[in-house]
Chains A and B, each alone.
Chain A
Amino acid sequence: MASEQPTSPAPEPGSETAPRTGAANLLELNGIEAGYGRAALVLRGLTVKVPPRTIVCLVGPNGAGKSTVLRVASGMLTPRAGEVLVDGVDVTRQGPQERLASGLAHVLQGHSVFPEMTVEENIRLGAYSVKDRALVAERTAFVKDLFPVVGERWTSLAGLLSGGQQKQVEFARSLMVDPKVVLLDEPSMGLDPKTTAAVFEQIVTMRDAGTAVLLVEQNARRALETADIGCVLDLGRLHITGPAADLLADPELSALYLGGRPHERT
């Protein structure tokens, strides 16, 4: 079991492609301390690294601070200590809009489409910060190709789509800015098992299309089966990290965080 976070992915799909710049990790959270208001710290010196073309999954019990990691990463919450690096550049003091421009897109948990707007309007709003029309058209074609449901339901109100379809619209919307890293918060929340499986397949598709993914999931076993690297959080700290397959195979971790041994569950 690795106790240090690897700085480059295990030889996983897509690893033959070079990263966008020389930085080994597209996203680095170093020594993050963060919390809400005057309440106690939620994150206590957490370090997480996301290499290019990799799905990194954060798992852990409720209250471990998983969603808070994403809020710190996307700039919705300013950390009290520590630094956030995107592709080697310090973005710790940037707000959500600048982080988006730096290449971080955040998909919230639950449903976060604009329900009373059409799928088209939702997708176009994904490129709200992009002024280059040719680029918007190119990205639109790209996400329509990646998520066929987007094109099929183009003129429907997004709120009328099924839960799984809405998730795909949210994924597509987040990809409109061509982000370096997509932050996904509980993408399977409220979805039935079949739809959950489809959503996890879409996450792999996103990675294979060139985007790194930082994933937070309650459904830890399913998430680790999809991810390249797993990070187990407990009490606001990184408890253990390593290739996702190794974490899944560890009987102690399995009992503590994944709800029993693999063979008991499958």
Chain B
Amino acid sequence: MSLFVQSLILGILLGGLYALLASGLTLYFGVMRVVQIAHSAFLILAAYLAWFFATRTGLDALLSLVITVPLFFVVGVGLQRLLITRLKPATLTMMSVLLTFAIALIIEGMLGFVFTGVQRRIHFSYGSASVPLFGAEVPVVKLVAFALAVLALGALWLILKKTGFGQALRATIQNKEAAQLVGINTDRVASYGFGLGLATAAVGGTALAMDATIYPSLHWHWIGPLMAIIVVGGLGSVPGAAIAAMVLGISQSLLQIPLGTTWAQTVFYVALFVTLMVRPQGFFGGRLAQRF
């Protein structure tokens, strides 16, 4: 029973992290119909920057967010303006896969070149501490990563729902021409949307690296499950991605008890196949995806 409770709690924490990692990925698609294969490469880049910051300054790696979040936002705006806008609208989704695949390879290559292929791990003063929770021992780093995810997702929700920019972004997603005609600069809004997606990758990558060993090609391990999450949740739906992430995170964690870690991972792909068979638009896809 205690193993079940432990797995359930770890599953919830993992689901929260997945929700953050997938939120940016579904946002790009919602705003611009862009499939951003390099999202997970940016997660790993953020993780490396956090590690580099911590080893060089001796400060807590979380403080690197002060630099990486604005940096990633600016990089995202630049990527959208300089590269994504050059893709033809008719083939945007397909071509964005190729373009961002190339970006992922470039990031991986640069990380290998600068930091070598050696596996790295960020050291926290509370790295080995754990707290008892409902009879289970939960590592503090996992709790902090979860808190970071909840905070970031809460901030994302507030931005989308309560700010003028968020309204403009949602209007652009729902009807681009009508958005232009009420005076919204939809190109600028789309580039800020891309920047916002990449800013979530800065937080997500740092949260991810709190409890994982990182290496340059680690992003290939992540992109599959994250893609599965956003398809199951409904492409473009941030709440859909969050709910799918939570369900799949808990499932994966619980399935590790009978199946072991390797086979438990297949839950993402099984869920992906089942979704494509019974509800191809995803569980919160189609028009629902536009409701935040």
Say yes or no: B181 contacts A125, CB within 8 Å: no
- In chain B, positions 177-195 with a C-beta closer than 8 Å to chain A are 177-185
B178 contact set on A, CB distance < 8 A: 108, 112-114
- In chain A, positions 56-113 with a C-beta closer than 8 Å to chain B are 74, 76, 96-97, 100-101, 105-108, 112-113
Q: Mark A113-137, 1 if CB is under 8 A from B, else 0.
A: 1111100010011101100000000
Chain A's nearest CB lies how many Å from the CB of B281?
A: 15
Q: Chain B interface (Cβ within 8 Å of chain A)?
A: 164, 167-168, 170-171, 174-175, 177-185, 287, 290-291
Confirm or deny: A49 has a beta carbon within 8 angstroms of a beta carbon on chain B.
Answer: no
Confirm or deny: A159 has a beta carbon within 8 angstroms of a beta carbon on chain B.
Answer: yes
B289 and chain A: residue at smallest CB distance: A116
Tell me which of A100, A101, A116 contacts B181 (CB under 8 A).
Answer: A100
Say yes or no: A117 contacts B170, CB within 8 Å: yes
A44 contact set on B, CB distance < 8 A: none
Say yes or no: A125 contacts B182, CB within 8 Å: yes
Q: How far is the CA of A106 from the CA of B179 in the complex (A)?
A: 11
Chain B's nearest CB lies how many Å from the CB of A56?
A: 19
Q: How far is the CA of A97 from the CA of B182 in the complex (A)?
A: 8
Say yes or no: A114 contacts B177, CB within 8 Å: no
Q: How far is the CA of A106 from the CA of B183 in the complex (A)?
A: 11
Tell me which of A101, A112, A115, A121 contacts B167 (CB under 8 A).
Answer: A121
Say yes or no: B174 contacts A117, CB within 8 Å: yes
Q: How far is the CA of A67 from the CA of B170 in the complex (A)?
A: 26
- In chain A, positions 167-215 with a C-beta closer than 8 Å to chain B are 173, 177
Q: Mark A212-237, 1 if CB is under 8 A from B, else 0.
A: 00000000000000000000000000
Say yes or no: A100 contacts B183, CB within 8 Å: yes
In this complex, the member of B179, B180, B290, B291 whose beta carbon has the largest number of chain A beta carbons within 10 angstroms is: B180
Say yes or no: A105 contacts B170, CB within 8 Å: no
Chain A's nearest CB lies how many Å from the CB of B160?
A: 12
Q: How far is the CA of A117 from the CA of B172 in the complex (A)?
A: 12
Say yes or no: B185 contacts A97, CB within 8 Å: yes
Would A114 and B174 be within 8 Å (CB), given that A125-B167, A128-B168, A159-B287 are in contact? yes
Say yes or no: A115 contacts B174, CB within 8 Å: yes
Q: Chain A interface (Cβ within 8 Å of chain B)?
A: 74, 76, 96-97, 100-101, 105-108, 112-117, 121, 124-126, 128-129, 157, 159, 173, 177
Q: How far is the CA of A112 from the CA of B179 in the complex (A)?
A: 9
B167 contact set on A, CB distance < 8 A: 117, 121, 124-125, 128
Q: How far is the CA of A114 from the CA of B167 in the complex (A)?
A: 10
B168 contact set on A, CB distance < 8 A: 125, 128
Chain B's nearest CB lies how many Å from the CB of A170?
A: 8
A125 contact set on B, CB distance < 8 A: 167-168, 171, 179, 182, 184
Chain B's nearest CB lies how many Å from the CB of A112?
A: 4
Q: How far is the CA of A114 from the CA of B184 in the complex (A)?
A: 13
Chain A's nearest CB lies how many Å from the CB of B34?
A: 20
- 9 A-B pairs within 8 Å (CB atoms) are namely A96-B181, A97-B180, A97-B183, A100-B183, A113-B178, A117-B170, A125-B167, A125-B168, A128-B184
Say yes or no: B170 contacts A112, CB within 8 Å: no
Say yes or no: A116 contacts B287, CB within 8 Å: yes
Q: How far is the CA of A125 from the CA of B175 in the complex (A)?
A: 12
Give me 6 other A-B pairs in contact (C-beta within 8 A), A107-B181, A113-B175, A116-B174 excluded. A74-B181, A108-B177, A113-B178, A115-B175, A125-B167, A128-B183
Say yes or no: A114 contacts B171, CB within 8 Å: yes
A126 contact set on B, CB distance < 8 A: 182
Chain A's nearest CB lies how many Å from the CB of B28?
A: 19
B178 and chain A: residue at smallest CB distance: A112
B185 contact set on A, CB distance < 8 A: 97
A117 contact set on B, CB distance < 8 A: 167, 170-171, 174
A71 and chain B: residue at smallest CB distance: B177
Say yes or no: A116 contacts B177, CB within 8 Å: no
Tell me which of B170, B180, B182, B184 contacts A116 (CB under 8 A).
Answer: B170
Say yes or no: A101 contacts B183, CB within 8 Å: yes
B292 and chain A: residue at smallest CB distance: A116
- 4 nearest A-B pairs in the assembled complex, by CB-CB distance: A129-B183, A116-B290, A112-B178, A114-B174
Q: How far is the CA of A110 from the CA of B271 in the complex (A)?
A: 37
Chain A's nearest CB lies how many Å from the CB of B287?
A: 7
Chain B's nearest CB lies how many Å from the CB of A71?
A: 10
Q: How far is the CA of A129 from the CA of B174 in the complex (A)?
A: 19
Q: How far is the CA of A117 from the CA of B171 in the complex (A)?
A: 8
In this complex, the member of B164, B178, B183 whose beta carbon has the largest number of chain A beta carbons within 10 angstroms is: B183
Say yes or no: B182 contacts A128, CB within 8 Å: yes
A130 and chain B: residue at smallest CB distance: B183
B181 and chain A: residue at smallest CB distance: A106
Q: How far is the CA of A199 from the CA of B180 in the complex (A)?
A: 24
A97 contact set on B, CB distance < 8 A: 180, 183-185
Q: How far is the CA of A237 from the CA of B164 in the complex (A)?
A: 42
Q: How far is the CA of A107 from the CA of B181 in the complex (A)?
A: 8
Chain A's nearest CB lies how many Å from the CB of B183?
A: 4
Chain A's nearest CB lies how many Å from the CB of B173?
A: 9
B175 contact set on A, CB distance < 8 A: 112-115
